[in-house]
A and B are shown apart, each in its own frame.
Chain A
Amino acid sequence: MKRLGMLLVLVLCALLPARPTASAENVTLTALFMKQAAYSDADVRAMTAEFEKTHPGVKLSLEFVPYEALHDKIVASVAAGARGYDIVLFDVIWPAEFAENGVLLDLTNRIPKDVINAVWPGAWTTVLYQDRYYGLPWILDTKYLFYNKEMLSKAGFRTPPATWDELLRQARALKAKGVVSYPIVWSWSQAEAIVCDYTTLLAAFGGSFFEKGSPKFNTGGGQQALQYMVDSLNAGLSNPASRESLEEDVRRIFSAGQAAFALNWTYMYNMANDPKESRVAGKVGVVPSPGDAMHSKVSAVNGSMALGVMRTSKNPELAFQYAQALTSQAVQERYAKLSLPIWKASYSNPVVIKGQEALITAARQGLAAMYPRPLLVRYQEFSTILQTYLQKALLRQLSPKAALDAVANEAVQKRLK
């Protein structure tokens, strides 16, 4: 009834008349961000304060929600009509949906050519839909393989694994020698996180999601990816707690010294090396996610996020300027210890590199190999089905092949392509 109530309130809100625009001298923009460790609330507020200083008369009202609520919050605000957000943070998987439904403003004509050339092409894929730009990339991110150097050397390994098979071999040795009971931890909870891990593996094994509108993930590399997940779990090499873990759980388990390997986003590197946050500080190594002897040297999923201007914004120009300020090279380089810049030039700036050389080396390879999740207008629906069936395979209700076939069938039936 509470949900129903919310639905109804929204319907009611949609019927209320719009308020008049604020005067130009005294403008308040509202922005929606997510609660996260990289670019924390305090960081974003500090960046915003700088913008407000250089733009007298402009005030920003900021809101922070968990990633899991970000999408629904954005669409609900559109449905509620009138006074929604001016700027929103959005994920790489939503531009198709947001563009088709008129949520975001097309910014193609506002973005200067030299900016396009100065930013990594992989970052731009975050905002592109049908050759139009729907935002400015902000958080350039992919999943890396983190490893505990001390544990690896205890088991006699000098280098981290370069392929996923080698990772299993090392994990088996670590378990056999009693160094750690569950060597690998993942974020396989029923959420977008599991799709990111699956995509990384799919890319490594040379798979693809759709080809010419037909599902392909239930064959070849896609099938191999899920088989790998299930096998590592059944062999006791992946922590069974992975099935209920999100990225923060992964970070905590790894930082507590209860895993030798973890797949996670950039932000974990400096946090796992921070003695206040971690018991394994100083022992954390990072490399690109492994590849596969047959198909790839490294693997990566595009997990970037961008700032977009809402189509309903009464001050699109100011909103765009704010997004430009936050994504500017100067600001990004100052906060590079939390999140790596989108700018190519930053990667040879000594200030950015210092203290995180390993991460930068991994990023150069990983960011270049970023593989996209399918670009679908109804991506949310596809992902929900995929999450459910990936978990059915992990819980041994279905074989990997049967689970992925079921997803493919539903995708075809529901015309999710």
Chain B
Amino acid sequence: MRRQDAVAWWLIFPALLVAGGVAAYPLVRTLYLSFFDAPLISFARSPQWIGIGNYLQALQYPAFQDGVRHTLYFTALSVGAELVLGVLTALLLNQQFAGRAALRTLLILPLAIPTVVNAAMWRWIYNPEYGALNALLTQLHVITGYRSWLGEEGLAMHMVILADVWKNYALVTLIVLAALQTVNRDLYEAAAVEGAGAWRGFWSITLPAIRPALLVVTVLRTVEAMKVFDIIYVMTRGGPADSTKTLSFYVYQEAFAFLRLGSGAAYAFLTVMLIALFVGLYIRLIRAEAATG
């Protein structure tokens, strides 16, 4: 048994090395850096130990608090919408109908587009002067004049969320669709015999069956959404008036625009801790699910 253990350790050693090199070491190093007043490019100045100074400064900085709010808002709305849309499309694609295979293939399309390309594409769609959205909505008489979708506070965040949802809801669909394949169809027939409608069937049979998959995809999407950066960088650069600036944007700005690597690292760690909080919560939920299931 002991020899087997030794062999096992040797076998996973390369993987451990890689994981340690690309994940653990940088993480520890970032944590270490976050306690310093460290310039990104040092010429005359060397890093100064300032303890939790960077963290205090970040937590007292009103703009950073706004960043937390924007991030939570973005995450809640985009993940929420993706879950609803994703489940609905999965239910649809789980039905038998002509052209289903083609539709299922098309579903991959948004996922295959790089985020930056997606962002640039939606920026064109939203263009206030010659964008497709203004043209469509005025021709349908929904709006009377062209609007500046990314130039108005409040509106801009929702437009970015829409672009993000379009790209990512398909992931939810794919995972839920896979879970739906495992549901025994006899259950629905039995329920129908008992007089249960479609709605009752969804709540009592479908939802319990896809719940574990939903939880997993919620974790994935939440983590992704909390660290959102590229789509915002391309579409609004945080504007108008900082209304779309999220946590990652502040991390980037501190480190690469303001050259403060130390406080950039602290911002990054605060973001990680916020994400960890949510992941911890989800994991508890998943465990509870496993215990009862």
**A-chain residues with CB within 8 Å of residue B44 when the two chains form the complex:** 102
Asked if A190 contacts B236 (CB within 8 A), the reply is yes
Supposing A102-B41, A240-B148, A241-B148 touch, asked if A380 and B240 sit within 8 A by C-beta, the answer is no
Asked if B41 contacts A79 (CB within 8 A), the reply is yes
Provide the bound-state CA to CA distance between A2 and B30, in Å: 14
Binds B, one of A6-14, A19-27, A36-44, A294-302: A6-14
Binds A, one of B95-103, B105-113, B150-158, B178-186: B150-158
Supposing A7-B255, A8-B30 touch, asked if A240 and B151 sit within 8 A by C-beta, the answer is yes
A168 to chain B, nearest CB (A): 21
Number of interface residues of A (CB under 8 A): 49
Asked if B248 contacts A3 (CB within 8 A), the reply is yes
A142 to chain B, nearest CB (A): 23
A100 at the binding interface (Cβ < 8 Å): yes
A187 to chain B, nearest CB (A): 12
Asked if A190 contacts B237 (CB within 8 A), the reply is yes
**B-chain residues with CB within 8 Å of residue A240 when the two chains form the complex:** 128, 148, 151
Asked if A75 contacts B40 (CB within 8 A), the reply is yes
**B-chain residues with CB within 8 Å of residue A241 when the two chains form the complex:** 128-129, 146, 148, 151
A381 at the binding interface (Cβ < 8 Å): yes
A361 at the binding interface (Cβ < 8 Å): no
Chain B: residues with CB nearer than 8 A to chain A?
25-27, 29-30, 33, 39-44, 63, 127-130, 146, 148-153, 156, 223, 227, 229-230, 236-242, 248, 251-253, 255-259, 261, 264-265, 268, 271-272, 275
Given contacts A2-B248, A189-B239, A384-B257, 16 further A-B contacts (CB under 8 A): A1-B227, A11-B29, A75-B259, A76-B256, A101-B42, A190-B242, A240-B128, A241-B128, A241-B148, A243-B152, A244-B151, A249-B127, A252-B129, A378-B258, A384-B258, A395-B153
Chain A: residues with CB nearer than 8 A to chain B?
1-5, 7-9, 11-12, 68, 71-72, 75-76, 78-79, 97, 100-103, 189-191, 239-245, 249, 252-253, 256, 258, 378, 380-381, 384, 387-389, 391-392, 394-395, 397
Closest 5 A-B residue pairs measured CB to CB? A190-B239, A8-B26, A102-B43, A241-B128, A244-B151
Q: What are 15 A-B pairs with beta-carbon distances under 8 A?
A: A2-B248, A4-B268, A7-B264, A76-B256, A79-B40, A79-B41, A101-B39, A191-B239, A249-B127, A378-B258, A381-B257, A389-B241, A391-B241, A394-B240, A397-B241
